[in-house]
């Protein structure tokens, strides 16, 4: 991505977005607003295209209890939306071919209060409990003919049906409470939970009776004991995109990785096909030792599309679309010439095209992929500012139902044709946000490390006319992006609404700019990204005279938290303060404490620490603690097993030992993210009080 452009993109070339006019008395968007704002959940479209269903989660402003509810409305936007009485929580809506609406709910029946599958007749409101298993249902997928259902949840591997008396966990032999993991156990803990060997997320298929309820014992997709053993959907983040019915409703495609001693170092996810007759499932991608995911059968039953990486052990390799001819076995790579990584796949109803989403610079648009030529065409669904597009459902007439969010606001549901802005079908948060003072967002580019073009964004309050203190945001991943999308955790709008100019930079290693740019952070954690951050922050200050670069703090989580620790030692005189959340402090300890070993080892040359300690020590923040001087707020969660909370404790100890002003915020019930409503409010209040302490006193 070499460029001959000037160091700083001319202001006339920067993409600026005008904020709507708003009354002067409008209050800024607050942490309380962020925590209690309505949130759009799962969406579904009826087979006839006339009705959309969606989940809206509301949060009580006093108790902070969150309540997800099920809504339906006409897809033409006419009439009013209608709430369906589910008698409990609701999630994962899905329409059957006959128009019945299925969903998950924890509705209490008698003394039982477990999450099960329910269905409702949209017209009459009559509900039917579809499943009543002993085990909790985590998700489901209806067959194309509407006569079968696949369900998944945590089930003992030796259990022949969906739920047995024993959970199969071999790590709790008793008589005490100790967890006992034997040699070759693989994961001991993963993301935020201790592993339960013998118990996995498993998919079972059941027939549906005339009464709409499941029948029989069901068939396990993973086959007999002793064959495939692993989680499907894949933990910790897999969902419905990992499971797909064949068009004839006779077999099931699913994603799984073998669970064994090698699992912590393996990214070898495969796509399997089960005949659902008790036989061993077939591994359709056995020859590829890297990730294969997102199975998507074509409606005509001819093709299976899926996404695949090429390099084993690398979780951020490019996801390329591949096709398997289900009739002949022919295989071919479809989008190898397109330097973008697909995030989702769905077919048009006539099987003549695939619709994919993928990050592209600072947007996440939808693209049309020709299954014959592999030609990729970007679909413009919001001219001028695409933002983040997701959950795309194509109609026969060329229309698409989709969700869109941006820095300005969270996801809403839209319908429309490419080339012009769609019609908004929901008002989950738009009207509420209109009562708050807006922010303005401007994109900019500059020459970063190696002379490459690097992009960033400036988000600032619209009502401040003079200089304002600034905060440099550093994203996590590290293969990620602070693109034009909404976040309920690191939200530029709520930070800017505190009176700060927020500057984010998509440094080398970021996604949406081609695979070479993403790869550039490997073995360069403290090198090229820091160069980009330094140049990008300077470029933003030059571009926007309102940014007070001399009165600035920096903040980041995960890799961004690592960068706070790195900045503290190698760029110690730049910022008034730092906010460090779940960041790596000691690379050696991290190498032995984290759970998904492939990530840390790939980033440092593909070796475990003991084989190449110099690779880890080169960019190790702990080696520069003697130069630390910048005040730092450290935040961590005790259930974070990705970057264990001991890393945060160690950073805080270093700060305290050196006498540097510092604070520590520890959440005993949070993982790598802060998700609970009250905790989120505390997280924001603590962070903003810290910024105010060091920046507001210096305002000119």
H helix or E strand, kind and range, residue 503: strand 501-506
Strands (E), 15-138: 16-17, 27-28, 39-45, 51-59, 66-74, 82-84, 91-95, 101-105, 116-120, 127-129
Nearest to 446 by CA among 9, 1, 15: 9
Spell out the residues 6+ positions from residue 45 whose beta carbon is closer than 8 angstroms to its own.
51, 52, 53, 75, 95, 393, 401
Cis geometry, peptide bond prior to residue 233 (ω within 30 degrees of 0) = yes
Q: What pLDDT, on a 0 to 100 scale, did the predictor assign at position 2?
A: 35
- From the first residue on, what is the mean pLDDT of each consecutive set of 10 residues in the chain (700 residues)? 33 35 73 98 97 98 98 95 96 97 94 92 95 96 98 97 94 96 96 97 97 93 96 97 98 98 97 97 98 98 98 98 97 98 98 98 98 98 95 95 98 96 97 97 98 98 96 98 96 98 98 98 98 98 98 98 98 98 98 98 97 98 98 98 98 98 98 98 98 83
Cis geometry, peptide bond prior to residue 236 (ω within 30 degrees of 0) = yes
Contact 580, 556 (CB under 8 A): yes
d(CA 434, CA 431): 5
d(CA 373, CA 335): 9
d(CA 412, CA 504): 24
| β-bridge mates for residue 354, sequence order | 347, 369
Q: What pLDDT, on a 0 to 100 scale, did the predictor assign at position 18?
A: 36
Strand, helix or coil for residue 229: coil
Q: Which domains are delineated in the chain?
A: 437-695 (3.40.50.1820)
d(CA 649, CA 655): 10
H helix or E strand, kind and range, residue 515: helix 515-519
Angle at 334 between CA 331 and CA 336, to 5 degrees: 115
The DSSP letter of residue 234 is P
Nearest to 190 by CA among 110, 87, 128, 264: 264
Helix H segments across 91-165?
none
Spell out the residues 6+ positions from residue 593 whose beta carbon is closer than 8 angstroms to its own.
644, 646, 647
Half-sphere exposure (CA, 13 Å, Cβ side) for 448?
27
Q: What pLDDT, on a 0 to 100 scale, did the predictor assign at position 699?
A: 61
d(CA 506, CA 446): 11
Q: What pLDDT, on a 0 to 100 scale, did the predictor assign at position 697?
A: 72
CB atoms within 10 A of CB 420: 11
Q: What pLDDT, on a 0 to 100 scale, did the predictor assign at position 113?
A: 84
Contact 695, 633 (CB under 8 A): no
Contact 348, 355 (CB under 8 A): yes
Nearest to 350 by CA among 400, 416, 397: 397
What token pair was written down for 288? 């590829």
In the chain, what is the straight-line distance between the N-terminal and C-terminal CA atoms, in Å? 40
């Amino acid at each position: 991505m070499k460029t001959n452009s000037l160091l700083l993109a001319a202001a006339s070339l920067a993409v600026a977005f005008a904020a709507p006019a708003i009354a002067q008395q409008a209050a800024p968007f607050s942490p309380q607003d962020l925590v209690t704002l309505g949130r759009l959940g799962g969406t579904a479209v009826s087979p006839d295209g006339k009705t959309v269903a969606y989940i809206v989660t509301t949060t009580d402003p006093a108790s902070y209890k969150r309540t997800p509810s099920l809504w339906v409305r006409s897809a033409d936007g006419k009439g009013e939306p209608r709430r369906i009485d589910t008698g409990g929580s609701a999630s994962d809506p899905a329409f059957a071919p006959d128009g019945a609406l299925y969903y998950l709910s924890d509705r209490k029946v008698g003394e039982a209060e477990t999450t099960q599958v329910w269905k409702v007749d949209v017209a009459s409101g009559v509900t039917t409990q579809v499943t009543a298993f002993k085990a909790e249902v985590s998700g489901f997928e209806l067959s194309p003919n509407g006569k079968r259902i696949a369900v998944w949840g945590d089930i003992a591997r030796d259990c022949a049906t969906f739920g047995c008396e024993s959970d199969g966990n071999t790590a709790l032999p008793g008589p005490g409470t100790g967890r006992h993991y034997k040699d070759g156990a693989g994961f001991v803990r993963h993301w935020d939970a201790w592993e339960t060997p013998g118990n996995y997320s498993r998919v079972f298929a059941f027939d549906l009776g005339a009464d709409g309820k499941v029948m029989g014992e069901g068939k396990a997709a993973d086959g007999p004991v002793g064959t495939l053993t692993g989680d499907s959907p894949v933990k910790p983040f897999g969902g419905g995109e990992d499971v797909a019915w064949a068009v004839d409703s006779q077999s099931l495609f699913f994603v799984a990785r073998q669970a064994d001693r090698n699992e912590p170092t393996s990214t070898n996810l495969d796509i399997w096909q089960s005949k659902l007759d008790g036989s061993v499932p077939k591994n359709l991608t056995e020859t590829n030792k890297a990730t294969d995911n997102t199975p998507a059968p074509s409606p005509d039953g001819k093709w299976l599309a899926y996404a695949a990486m090429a390099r084993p052990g690398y979780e951020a390799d490019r996801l390329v679309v591949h096709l398997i001819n289900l009739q002949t076995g022919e295989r071919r790579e479809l989008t190898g010439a397109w330097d973008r990584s697909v995030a989702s796949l769905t077919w048009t109803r006539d099987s003549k095209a695939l619709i994919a989403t993928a990050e592209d610079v600072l947007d996440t648009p939808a693209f049309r992929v020709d299954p014959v030529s592999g030609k990729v065409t970007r679909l413009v669904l919001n001219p001028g500012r695409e933002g983040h597009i997701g959950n795309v459902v194509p109609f026969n007439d060329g229309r698409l139902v989709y969700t869109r969010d941006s820095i300005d606001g969270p996801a809403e549901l839209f319908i429309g044709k490419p080339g012009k802005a769609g019609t908004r079908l929901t008002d989950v948060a738009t009207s509420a946000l209109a009562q708050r003072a807006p922010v303005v967002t401007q994109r900019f580019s500059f020459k970063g490390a190696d002379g490459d073009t690097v992009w960033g964004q400036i988000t600032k309050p619209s009502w401040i006319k003079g200089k304002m203190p600034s905060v440099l945001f550093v994203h996590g991943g590290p293969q990620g992006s602070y693109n034009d999308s909404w976040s309920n955790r690191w939200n530029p709008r709520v930070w800017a609404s505190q009176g700060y100019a927020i500057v984010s930079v998509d440094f080398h290693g970021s996604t949406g700019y081609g695979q070479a740019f993403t790869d550039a952070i490997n073995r360069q954690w403290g090198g090229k990204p820091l160069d980009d951050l330094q140049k990008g922050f300077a470029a933003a200050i030059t571009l926007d005279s309102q940014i007070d670069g001399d009165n600035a703090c920096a903040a980041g989580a995960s890799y961004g938290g690592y960068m706070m620790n790195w900045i503290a030692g190698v760029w110690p005189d730049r910022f008034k303060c730092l906010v460090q959340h779940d960041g790596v402090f000691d690379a050696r300890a991290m190498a032995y404490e984290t759970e998904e070993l492939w990530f840390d080892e790939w980033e440092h040359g593909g070796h475990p620490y003991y084989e190449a300690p110099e690779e880890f020590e080169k960019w190790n923040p702990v080696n520069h603690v003697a130069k630390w001087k910048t005040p730092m707020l450290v935040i961590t969660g005790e259930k974070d097993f990705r970057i264990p909370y001991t890393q945060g404790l160690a950073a805080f100890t270093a700060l305290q030992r050196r006498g540097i002003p510092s604070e520590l915020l520890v959440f005993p019930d949070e993982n790598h993210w802060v998700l609970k409503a009250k905790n989120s409010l505390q997280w924001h209040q603590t962070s903003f009080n810290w910024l105010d302490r060091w920046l507001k006193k210096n305002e000119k």
